[in-house]
Structure 1
């Protein structure tokens, strides 16, 4: 009994000592103007015990000792050490903007811009803002309140969202994940469904408008979106996420991180399952997102980091647009009606359906060679496979309203189509499912060396090399009850083809792209002045192996080489501790995209004398930042010469008609303003205005063909001069209010306006040359079949979004409840449009944006 009492006493002593030896530290991390820094890392020095700040810059941490030192860090700021004790445990920590040691490597490797130093127009969105406001929106939509940005859900399918920046489509906006470019090597496109898991692991996302600061050999035109994922900065522990929303939206996921361990390793893994029915009818989706980072801090000078990210997904699509009148004649209305789905054996079936998996793997090495020199090298690979379902056939039953389960706005009766194909027997199917299959292998290396030549001058340079093979073919996937399908689209040499499931037809080729280049940048920074001069030189080679060509001599194309270059310079001057001014100017010549090099997808013929695209851009900016108010004003002027553009419109039979336009000149100019006002600690007011004026400057030539058959429909001169650049709102406004109801509870209201948005038009139909300012009368137009005066100006619209964030504890675990309602007034608006029949504005083909949607999310940290 005595021994038991002694043991009990010792145990009680140890527990008491442990409890008394712990200190709960709370505080707030801010910048030099007292603005909170969400996502800042706070670690007890010499341990792996740490946390990160919430969206208000606040943190709470249990230290195992009564006193010690905290190490606080955030990308773009100098790390800071601050002492804590049992009597000094509620801290306000102010970080100073700068870049040092490893932070400088991260910034250079990912091309992040630094405020008050990098002379570009920039907006940075922290992880907490993404978490608080994304909800069921597409990932690009989180940027919709950013100056110059226009983002929509497009047809409404999962991951089908798109983004324009200063009037430039995503094909001309560079998207980089951890410093690695992800735009398609052939056409520059970004498919956001491939990156659906980014929202769970992003630590910061930065939008650089205009020339930007990206260190790659081939620069972007509209701007750059840099996405930085978590690695060694991730907090030890885990996060469980659960989301639900409108129309069956469900998302479950978990993120686990070791933090930086004593052996120098840090591992972060994230996975999420997502599914739903979609806001638009017939757009069911399902996906699995994953992310893995394994980092090793080898020593003070070397760090390795391996990343794997991807999304396995499939989703229905709304491919065919309808006119406003046709949408309004439906029971569901324009926001929900989808003509491209129906039922087969009682199950949902889509005529347009996307399935894809594009994992990206990368290995990054950071090497601090000396106090003044470091090298960062990223080797990466991407392997994509999947495609999109399309329809094929002569009966046009998929777009024939007689083949619907009731009225014209009802789902397609696929059972009837199957029965009729089966009844045709040996005569074959009239309408089938095919798929446009696409796969690729992409390898690249991006390496940057930076050295300080003097205390004020630094030099950086590097290599950007990429090799890509993309395979593209049409394949029969479902005969829909038929025995075969007879394809006579390309029968000059074959007499037609009797196709069965798995057979390839019409298109089957490999596109080969090799791009390699070098870049260099000289920077001068002393006191309040920063100046840079950069240049690059690159070569892009295109070639094609066509497996549908007949005869081996026709299978391989000639190689097309395009030498590109760029030069840009800029300066930032801090007038005082609160004000800055900057300017940048640049000119570059880059290789055209694939569609401007080859005549079409059929055969190996090159277009005659394809031209490099040239861009001249200039920008002026002013910034002000104080403890209660900050604002930025930017003026930009971008001239785009010899632009090549490809756009597609569906004809009356549902066939895709593509026009490749070359030699266009465009002028994009405008002004952007954004501000943040914090009159009291609990209230934050934000706003922005973006006023653009984007027009085509001259005429061009175009080649229009049928996507399915390769048949050339027309070619010649198009008179585009004076037309408005379409596909994005040229005038946007945003206004936001966030109020902190409690210490960890806030409510936000955001307003967005979009105006001066012009429908995409088939410029090949504009066959009359007009003098400057000349306008045709209505009687003139009646005499000119197929002529349109200008692109249709879509109605302006206003949207309001509401958000609530509430922090609390569940069983001692830090938890956050997030609620979002987008388009709270259920506004009906048109987000995307094609002109349709060029002689009648009422036939414009449109997509309506989503109506009222909602989501509820719970995050639990452990």
Structure 2
């Protein structure tokens, strides 16, 4: 009978599940370590220690496992455990033999219990998605993100929006050093090709986030940490081939830790692509080298990285009539814009989704950018630590254009006289140059007098010096201008100082409070002549105070809730100043950001939900006016807002299947907006008032889902699907000027294996838009009145249909 009962109970006993709990402390003084990472290897189970250094893992089946604990600045520990019942296992960690690179970015990052919404993208996530496309496309699957590519395939000029906010409102730092261009305030990833291959991890903060360096974050921030050294010497070769003759070739080498103190790492990359759009070709080159000294209490690192790009211009987009195949509309467009025979034939005969208005063989954008970083971190004592960095960025480049029937007077030139007659126009080739220097210092001092109290004092001082000038390199009708002469010449000088103080305090085991106060001072001067030959003398001085407060309540080991209130201020970009009415400057933007959320983490399931309200005063929005290179003019609007909810989670269904998903649902409105239309008949501007309209390029829904299938070890297949709701091209919420919503599907697979002499070989395939969806991810519009008729011109940027990238990565 006993044997029979035991036999009946055996299946139940085998299915029994237990818990593993314990604490993690510092070995020398037995101080508990909050936030230590605890992982039960090969199960997908993991957690973080509480403020008292305690951890709990639930639902562990009987068996033998490896339990691993890691904590910044301490050596990782592993223990083999036999689980036949509930277990209590403690860890005492010892200080690492060297200071870890993560300390470089700690001052500007959100932590697990920070009262803000963020997404960490790990090195493995980056590697799995890195097939040579620009960094925005690697981040495309994160909440609330929309990406676009001028050439249609993700190589060349690309853009990213977070919560509908464009790149000028997304603060980007690399190792805490500002990356955004000081004047345009954008981040141009085409100047940093294959940079993802030298990135350790990225934290995306949505909304205002924590205090950081550089331009103010309104839509979000990207906090990037470059690669940490491998412990052992390595070499890596990565090659990618894909549609549109896309190639990526990358070589990486590293010494590992030499004598447990020194390391050297390097990367050399080349990317080329014909692009989906006609003549939308790119040739991109870059390198990254890094050397470091790793002491037990200090870290000294030197990074030098550089990129060069040659990209055929495709920034004019496709006229709506060409996109729709409307012959009458195209002929009307030809007549309105007085296209010559060559340009008219190009419009009429091109592929509807690949049309490029440029035909000149050297209609290229050319730019070179070099970055130098000197990073230092020091653990001064058990309670004090210091980070500091010196940096210098050198940028120079131009875009070349062939222009037809240009007036000499538009270039400040007298009309030449030929055979006794004045010639007023000519065909010519011009170059518009940007030559700039950006340099400064960043720092942070951390003070942690006790386990429940933490202070950080940080900041930066940066200077930007930029030259903007133009040259005529060829003219069909000769003029008095030499090739090297500058027909316009202007300067932009900007100084940016900020200092911030952060405090985190845990008055009780489950409650964490934080305060973050930042003062920022900006001085900006624009002088010389602009490209339309206007004389510029603009000066502005701005002082901003950006406070943030919040609280996090830990319900238990797996759940916490948080809320925060933040105020942010931000100056306009160069175009906002140059295009403002004479003698005026744009008002700075102000943002009140409210965030609240709930996070839960379990062995097989983790999720977060965040609700937010972003309320703007004097937000700068597009008006409908454009510059001669298609840049939109912007104006202040008194009141606007974004409110929404974001959900992000993953669920491990079984050892074979896992689901990742996120969604961002939002409402984005301008309360009152004035639209301007040029009236050529009166030489005045007509004004049209609009109320409660959608903010342009702000979809009401962005949804992503991924099903990951792992049938065997080292092989994974991911099916991905993303939906982006409709977006308006301007702020009038007019249905005739919009981007339709689109649903795009893709797949990614990877297989890892190894053999003698090779540490790892990975074969990867990225299949984009596998259902060949025809969609446009970006565009612009403008209007005018001529001959009593109102004309609206819409332009779109189609994205590629079904395409693929195949990679082979070999690590030695």
TM range (shorter): 0.7 to 0.9
Q: 1:648 and 1:842, CA in 2 relative to 1: closer, same or farther beyond 3 A?
A: closer
| Rounded Cα–Cα distance in structure 1 between residues aligned with 2:290 and 2:186 | 26
Q: Aligned partners of 2:159 and 2:737: how far apart in 1? A: 20
Structure 1 CA distance for aligned equivalents of residues 705 and 452 of structure 2: 40
2:600 is matched with 624
Q: Residue 690 of structure 1 corresponds to which residue in structure 2? A: 664
Structure 1 equivalent of residue 201 of structure 2: 204
Please give the alpha-carbon distance, in whole angstroms, between the structure 1 residues aligned to 2:111 and 2:248. Answer: 35
- CA distance in structure 2 between the partners assigned to 1:159 and 1:307 by the alignment: 24
Check the 8 A contact 2:745/2:768 in 1, yes or no. yes
> Are the equivalent residues in 2 in contact too, given 1:389–1:433 (CA < 8 A)?
yes
**In structure 2, what is the equivalent of residue 60 of structure 1?**
none
SS at the partner of 2:128? helix
Alignment partner of 1:595 is 2:541: no
Question: Does the aligned pair in 1 maintain the 2:165–2:218 contact within 8 Å?
Answer: yes
Counterpart selection for 1:674 from 640, 648, 669: 648
Cα pair 2:38 2:69 within 8 Å, conserved: no
**Equivalent residue for 1:586, pick from 566, 583, 586:** 566
Question: Cα distance, 1:217 vs. partner?
Answer: 7.0
* 8 Å contact kept, 1:465–1:517: yes
Establish whether residue 255 from structure 1 lines up as the match of residue 252 from structure 2. yes
Change (3 A) 1:623 1:365: same
Q: What is the CA–CA distance in structure 2 between the aligned matches of 1:585 and 1:95, rounded to whole Å?
A: 37
In structure 2, what is the Cα distance between the partners aligned to 1:104 and 1:459?
20
**Counterparts in 2 of 1:781-820, with a 5 A limit?**
789=734, 792-813=737-758, 814-820=760-766
Deviations 1:431-485 (A, max 9, x none): 2221221111111111000101333111111231110011111222333xx2425
Relative to structure 1, is the Cα distance of residues 110 and 32 closer, same or farther in structure 2, using a 3 angstrom cutoff? farther
Distance in 2 separating the partners of 1:98 and 1:598: 57
The match for 1:738 among 708, 712, 720 is: 708
Quote the Cα distance in structure 1 between the aligned partners of 2:605 and 2:530: 63
Q: Which residue of 2 aligns with 1:729?
A: 699
Where do 1:415-454 residues align within 5 Å? 430-454=426-450
1:542 & 1:313 partners in 2: Cα distance? 28
1:122 aligns with 2:118: yes
Q: 1:476 to 1:253 in 2, by over 3 A?
A: same
SS at match of 1:171: helix
Work out whether 1:360 is the aligned partner of 2:368. no
> Residues of 1 paired with 2:423 and 2:530: CA distance?
25
Q: Does 1:751 align with 2:721?
A: yes
SS of 2:244's partner is helix
Equivalent positions of 1:299-318 (< 5 A) are 299-318=295-314
Show the counterpart of 1:106: 103
Q: Deviations over 1:657-687 (max 9, x none)?
A: 7524134432011111111010112211111
SS in 1 for 2:437: strand
Q: Which moved more, 1:136-145 or 1:570-579?
A: 136-145
| Structure-2 separation of matches of 1:144 and 1:98 | 39
CA 273–583 in structure 1, closer or farther in 2 if over 3 Å, else same:
same
Give the Cα–Cα distance (whole angstroms) in 1 for the partners of residues 358 and 177 of structure 2.
Answer: 36
Kept in 1, the 8 Å contact 2:44–2:604? The answer is no
Does the CA-based 8 Å contact 2:658-2:708 persist in structure 1?
Answer: yes
Change beyond 3 A, Cα 1:72–1:576: closer
- Report Cα offsets for 1:39-84 as digits up to 9, x if no partner: xxxxxxxxxxxxxxxxxxxxxxxxxxxxxxx998878696522379
CA contact under 8 A between 2:246 and 2:271: conserved in structure 1?
yes
Q: For residue 557 of structure 1, give the secondary structure of its aligned residue in structure 2.
A: strand
Contact 2:218 2:568 in 1 (8 A): no
> 1:822 maps to what in 2?
768
Cα shift at 1:121: 1.0
Distance 2:258 2:111 in 1: 29
- Mark the CA change 1:755 to 1:610 in structure 2 (over 3 Å): closer, same or farther: closer
The secondary structure found in structure 2 opposite 1:503 is coil
Pairing 1:531–2:501 present: no
What is the root-mean-square deviation of aligned Cα atoms in Å? 3.8
- Alpha-carbon separation, structure 1, partners of 2:225 and 2:768: 26
Q: 1:453 to 1:817 in 2, by over 3 A?
A: same
Q: Structure 1: which 5+ runs fail to align?
A: 1-28, 39-69, 86-92, 343-348, 397-421, 486-497, 707-711, 764-787
State how far apart, in whole Å, the 2-side matches of 1:589 and 1:704 are: 31
Task: Quote the Cα distance in structure 1 between the aligned partners of 2:722 and 2:791.
Answer: 26
Q: Is the 8 A contact 2:401 2:429 kept in 1?
A: yes
Question: Match for residue 41 of structure 1?
Answer: none
* Number of residue pairs matched by the alignment: 709
Q: 1:512 to 1:650 in 2, by over 3 A?
A: closer
> Contact 1:664–1:700 at 8 Å: present in 2 too?
no
Q: In the alignment, is residue 504 of structure 1 matched against residue 478 of structure 2?
A: no
**Does residue 847 of the first structure (1) align with residue 797 of the second (2)?**
yes
| CA offset digits 1:274-322 (Å, max 9, x no partner) | 222122210222121111111111x322210111122111111212223
Q: CA separation of 1:746/1:556 partners in 2, compared to 1, >3 Å: closer, same or farther?
A: closer
Q: In 2, distance between residues paired with 1:191 and 1:95?
A: 45
Residues 194 and 104 of structure 1: CA distance in aligned 2, closer, same or farther (over 3 Å): closer
In the TM superposition, what whole-angstrom CA distance separates every residue of 1:768-818 from its partner, at most 9, and x where no partner exists?
xxxxxxxxxxxxxxxxxxxx8567332211111111101122543121111
Q: Deviations over 1:395-431 (max 9, x none)?
A: 69xxxxxxxxxxxxxxxxxxxxxxxxx9999959722
* Whole-angstrom distance in 2 between the partners of 1:99 and 1:795: 55
Tell me, in whole angstroms, the C-alpha distance in 1 between the residues paired with 2:258 and 2:355.
53
More strand by share: 2
Distance in 2, matches of 1:522 and 1:270, equals 38
Secondary structure of 1:325's aligned partner: helix
| Aligned equivalents of 2:150, 2:420: Cα separation in 1 | 38
1:8-58: CA deviations, max 9, x gaps?
xxxxxxxxxxxxxxxxxxxxx9747977599xxxxxxxxxxxxxxxxxxxx
Comparing 106-115 with 515-524, greater Cα deviation is found at 106-115
**Shift in Å, 1:130:** 2.3
1:335 aligns with 2:353: yes
Matched-pair contact (CA < 8 Å) for 1:160–1:193: yes
Structure 1 CA distance for aligned equivalents of residues 44 and 530 of structure 2: 60
State the partner residue of 2:470.
474
| Paired residues of 1:657 and 1:705 also in contact (CA < 8 A) | no
Cα displacement (A) at 1:727: 2.0
Q: What SS does the aligned partner of 1:597 have?
A: helix
**Paired residue secondary structure (2:691):** coil
1:37/1:231 Cα in 2 relative to 1: closer, same or farther (>3 Å)?
farther
Match of 1:399 in 2: none
Q: Determine whether 1:458 maps to 2:454.
A: yes
Shift of 1:143: 1.7
Per the TM alignment, residue 843 of structure 1 is displaced from its structure 2 partner at its CA by 4.8
Deviation at 1:180, TM superposition (A): 1.1
How far, CA to CA, are the matches of 2:623 and 2:726 in structure 1?
A: 20
Q: Is the 8 A contact 1:662 1:702 kept in 2?
A: no
Distance in 2, matches of 1:646 and 1:387, equals 25
Q: How much has 1:233 moved relative to structure 2?
A: 4.6
Distance 1:723 1:608 in 2: 27
Which residue in the other structure is 1:242 paired with?
A: 239
- SS of residue matched to 1:327: helix
Tell me how far apart the structure 2 counterparts of residues 289 and 648 of structure 1 sit (CA, whole Å): 37
Per mean C-alpha deviation after superposition, the further-off stretch among 210-219 and 560-569 is 210-219
More divergent stretch after superposition (126-135 vs 573-582): 126-135
Structure 1 residue 644 displacement after superposition:
2.9
**1:594-613 to 2 correspondences below 5 Å:** 594-599=574-579, 607-608=583-584, 610-613=586-589
Separation (CA, whole Å) in 2 of partners of 1:452 and 1:557: 48
Q: Does 1:861 align with 2:811?
A: yes
Structure 2 counterpart of 1:224 = 221
What residue is the counterpart of 2:11 in the other structure?
none
The question of 1:141 aligning with 2:137 is answered yes
How far 1:594 moved relative to its partner?
Answer: 2.9
Instruction: Find the partner of 1:515 among 488, 496, 499.
Output: 496
Superposed displacement of residue 205, structure 1: 1.6
